[in-house]
Structure 1
Amino acid sequence: MPTRTAPSRAELIADTALALLREHGMRGLTHRAVDERAGLPQGSTSNHARTRQALLEAAVRRLAELEARVLAPGELLTAGDPAGAAGAAWPTGAAEAAAGLARALHRYLTGSTDLLVCRYELALEATRRPALRAHYDEAGRRFREPLVALMTAAGSAEPERHALSVVAWAEGMMFACAVGSYHRAIPTEEELRRGCGELLRGMLGGDQSHGAVDHL
């Protein structure tokens, strides 16, 4: 088995910051609290991230890294579902897009909703801190750009706008499952695939009489 390396001090500080955000919200995140929770000498977090802004930026970077491991945005363009596309009157790649997005979303919802709570905390704080907003938006590029490419591959004539619609659908689904705004039951991967397929059908078009809905 491969040897698991210990996290660096920077990773430990960022991971601890995320844990505090998840458990206590923004008020619970202080330099002192990170030191105490991580078992570090007092002042260690301040030496790494001198200001609160720097500490929040470290949390945003780490969150993006952890979410990318789960969502694997770079795999979306290669996550095919040939059986789902067979015979459907859809632009090439639409069924594959629905399958790949559902797979990533289901993986997140069944194992990483703690990260989602952290993201909500940081996103709300970013609405009050323009510098953090810029940093938060930049960190999100690793997710937005593959999604825009996926929409292009699926045949979208307006991939930026359609990517935003997909993000809005996925965010709504994640919020409902994380906080129970509808209920906290997590949809199956198949249910997510069908839901995403219905969204893509509406955006990208396709002859319903050819059974595209059934395939997606």
Structure 2
Amino acid sequence: MARNPDRRRALADAGLRVLAESGARGLTHRAVDTEAGVPLGTASNYFRSRDALLGALGERIMERFAPDEAVIAELAARAPSRELFIDYMRYIVERTTRQPELTRALIELRLEAARRPGLAASLGQTLRRGYRDDVAYHATTGLAGGPYEIALLHYALDGLLLDMLTTSIEADTDPDTVVATFVDRLVFGDPHENGERTP
């Protein structure tokens, strides 16, 4: 079994580029080797099966989406408030749209997991761990809401990102305003019906 962690990460990054550009059908060990510029057979030495390759890509996406510790420290230094909650959410959108190919690759992985039980198990563990980590971190912030509200925000943000990074419904909305509305309605229970932000 190949053990070079830098090579493994480079191959996973190449796999994510293939997945984002060509979809799950285009993702093969050979395509990863070609994208990474390594000899044929290299990817299969690191990822023995297609499920192993796909599972490793899910793990690598989460590594690359990890927040900047300096930004998190700056946010954590502020007093809990609605505005702080919105800024946390905006930072998530900024991180995931700064690297749109990663978010598209994650969408592809989630679709493929619906067809592959092995991938569903490994990717599901990764996604659920991320959710649990979000809930645990949120509990340290003093911000409003709990696990249920965090789940609602995950569902809402996933839909927003899907619209922003794939074919859009073109509702002519500003993502910053949408994020603020998510927080207001899903966490603070703002009953506004006209789509405007609460001042």
> Normalising by the residue count of structure 1, what TM-score does the alignment of the two structures yield?
0.73
Worse overlay, 121-130 or 100-109: 100-109
Q: Report how far residue 19 of structure 1 moved.
A: 0.7
Q: 1:140 aligns with which of 116, 127, 135?
A: 127
User: What are the ranges of 5 or more consecutive residues in structure 2 without an aligned counterpart?
Assistant: 192-196
1:18 maps to what in 2? 16
Aligned mates of 2:96, 2:174 — CA distance in 1: 12
Using a 3 Å threshold, how does the CA distance of structure 1 residues 17 and 185 change in structure 2: closer, same or farther? farther
Q: Which has the larger radius of gyration?
A: 1
Look up the equivalent residue of 1:196 and give its one-letter code: F
- Hey, what does 2:181 align to over in structure 1? 195
1:18 to 1:197, Cα distance in 2 relative to 1, 3 A: same
Coordinate RMSD, CA, aligned: 3.0
Which structure 1 residue ranges, 4+ long, deviate > 6 Å from structure 2?
A: none
1:48-197 equivalences in 2 (<5 Å)? 48-69=46-67, 75=72, 78-79=75-76, 82=79, 93-109=81-97, 111-149=98-136, 150=138, 153-156=142-145, 159-183=146-170, 187=174, 189=176, 191-197=177-183
Q: Say if 2:11 and 2:43, in contact at 8 Å, map to a contact too.
A: yes
Identity %: 28
Larger RCO, structure (CA 8 Å, separation 6 or more):
1
Q: Distance in 1 between matches of 2:182 and 2:48?
A: 43
CA distance in 1 between counterparts of 2:181 and 2:61 reads: 27
Using a 3 Å threshold, how does the CA distance of structure 1 residues 97 and 213 change in structure 2: closer, same or farther? same
Q: Structure 1: which 5+ runs fail to align?
A: 1-6, 83-91, 207-211
